[in-house]
């Protein structure tokens, strides 16, 4: 047994120190970034924020909405090849779509059918997604996926430590997805005791990733996945070194989100559930297998309306952070950031009256 004594940080353990700034207007803050990816060699420009590949957030409707803001939607993996073909026949914005799969044989077989159907040009990104990227089998699958999709930008994870970040990048991923146990619909920490505070995971994994490069193209990148509750958490992730941010909670509960709509006492709610929750396993696999435990929550969120309004608020918040820290662009967030460790992040005294 070993104990690591340095304290690992979550988003709500820190605040960002304000810095002298020459910015004159929030409007001039550039939230788009341009990356060239180390393996695919492709260049991408957009706002590096993605809706998670969950049933409730990685929907076709979300992709149509977020594309307008140059944001990514990671489609959930339960769409059939026919549904994907129909969607892509009238949607043409490959840069803002990610195709998702797991490491099971049927996931790879389905991807083969998608590529055979000529749909590979309809999405720039492929996400290889497992809850635990520490499995040797996962690392092998990263190599298999790179061989199958040499020109796609591959996002793979999830992990939370530097050595696996490096390994995933060296095996062929362009972007490592970082986060274990931090998701809002995730119960992994309470069920297993395993996890890593999200901000420290991002700081440590991005440091490792940015040290790996392909001289002809770019450096390794990370996507912070899960745990962002407020727009400020997105700012903190970018300040911590995240190149991309993925969120489920940000994009749940909207008109464009998936999940059942429920009315109670005249109020509308929308379902949000983890992909390892009983609800998800019931709907996709006919129940929770005996050897597994549900590691996800199933909740009803007050219906939030149109996701475009939220995106405006999120962008406004990021631009405001930029003015406080003197960053002209999202790209400068991590260079400009100093975190303060705090005991108390927010003044909640008026919340009971809201």
Judged by CB, which is closer to ligand 5GP: 40, or 56?
56
User: Is 205 annotated in the active site?
Assistant: no
The per-residue b/e assignment along 256-270, b for 16 or more CB within 10 angstroms, e otherwise, is bbbbeeeeeeeeebb
Interacting residue with ligand 5GP among 103, 199, 222, 228 (CB under 6 A):
228
Interacting residue with ligand 5GP among 55, 225, 233, 243 (CB under 6 A):
225
- The stretch near ligand 5GP (CB under 6 A) out of 24-32, 145-153, 176-184, 308-316 is 176-184
How far apart, in whole angstroms, are the C-alpha atoms of residue 174 and residue 196? 22
How many residues would you count in the chain?
354
How far apart, in whole angstroms, are the C-alpha atoms of residue 199 and residue 11? 6
Shortest distance in whole angstroms from residue 276 CB to ligand 5GP? 3
The per-residue b/e assignment along 273-283, b for 16 or more CB within 10 angstroms, e otherwise, is bbbbbbbbbee
Judged by CB, which is closer to ligand 5GP: 95, or 298?
298
Beta strands in the chain, from DSSP E residues, in sequence order: 14-16, 33-36, 43-46, 49-51, 72-74, 97-101, 125-129, 153-159, 175-178, 221-225, 244-247, 261-264, 267-273, 298-302, 339-341
- The stretch near ligand 5GP (CB under 6 A) out of 3-11, 203-211, 225-233, 344-352 is 225-233
Shortest distance in whole angstroms from residue 139 CB to ligand 5GP? 18
Applying the rule CB under 6 A, the residues between 79 and 118 that interact with ligand 5GP are none
Cβ contacts of 322 within 8 Å, gap of 6 or more:
23, 26, 29, 328, 329, 330, 332, 333
Interface pattern 113-142 for ligand 5GP (x via CB under 6 A): ------------------x-----------
Interacting residue with ligand 5GP among 122, 247, 257, 321 (CB under 6 A):
247
**Catalytic (active-site) positions:** 186
Residues engaged in binding ligand 5GP (CB under 6 A)? 52, 54, 131, 158, 179, 183-186, 188, 225-228, 246-249, 274-277, 295-296
């Amino acid at each position: 047994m070993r104990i690591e004594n340095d304290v690992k940080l979550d988003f709500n353990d820190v605040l960002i120190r304000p810095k002298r700034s020459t910015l004159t207007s929030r409007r001039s803050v550039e939230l788009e970034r341009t990356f060239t990816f180390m393996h695919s060699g492709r260049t991408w420009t957009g706002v590096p924020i993605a809706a998670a590949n969950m049933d409730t957030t990685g929907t076709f409707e979300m992709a149509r909405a977020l594309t307008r803001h140059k944001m990514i939607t990671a489609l959930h993996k339960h769409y059939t090849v026919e549904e994907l073909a129909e969607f892509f026949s009238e949607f043409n914005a490959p840069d803002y779509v990610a195709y998702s799969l797991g490491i099971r044989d049927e996931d790879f077989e389905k991807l083969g059918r998608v590529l055979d159907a000529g749909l590979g040009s309809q999405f720039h990104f492929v996400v290889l997604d497992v809850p635990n990227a520490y499995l040797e089998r996962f690392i092998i699958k990263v190599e298999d996926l790179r061989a199958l999709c040499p020109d796609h930008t591959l996002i793979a994870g999830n992990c939370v430590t530097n050595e696996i970040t490096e390994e995933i990048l060296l095996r062929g991923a362009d972007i490592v997805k970082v986060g274990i146990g931090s998701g809002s619909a995730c119960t992994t920490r309470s069920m297993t005791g395993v996890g890593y505070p999200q901000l420290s995971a991002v700081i440590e994994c991005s440091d490792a990733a940015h040290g790996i490069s392909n001289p002809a193209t770019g450096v390794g990148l990370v996507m912070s996945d899960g745990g962002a509750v407020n727009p400020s958490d997105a700012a903190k992730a970018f300040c911590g070194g995240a190149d991309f941010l993925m969120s489920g909670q940000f994009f749940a509960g909207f008109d464009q989100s998936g999940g059942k709509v429920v009315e109670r006492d005249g109020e509308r709610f929308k379902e949000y559930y983890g992909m390892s929750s009983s609800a998800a396993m019931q709907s996709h696999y006919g129940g929770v297998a005996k050897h597994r435990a549900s590691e996800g929550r199933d909740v009803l969120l007050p219906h939030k309306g149109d996701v475009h309004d939220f995106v405006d608020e999120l962008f406004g918040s990021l631009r405001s952070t930029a003015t406080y820290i003197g960053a002209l662009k999202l790209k400068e967030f991590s260079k400009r950031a100093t975190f303060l460790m705090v005991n108390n992040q927010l003044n909640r005294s008026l919340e009971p009256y809201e």
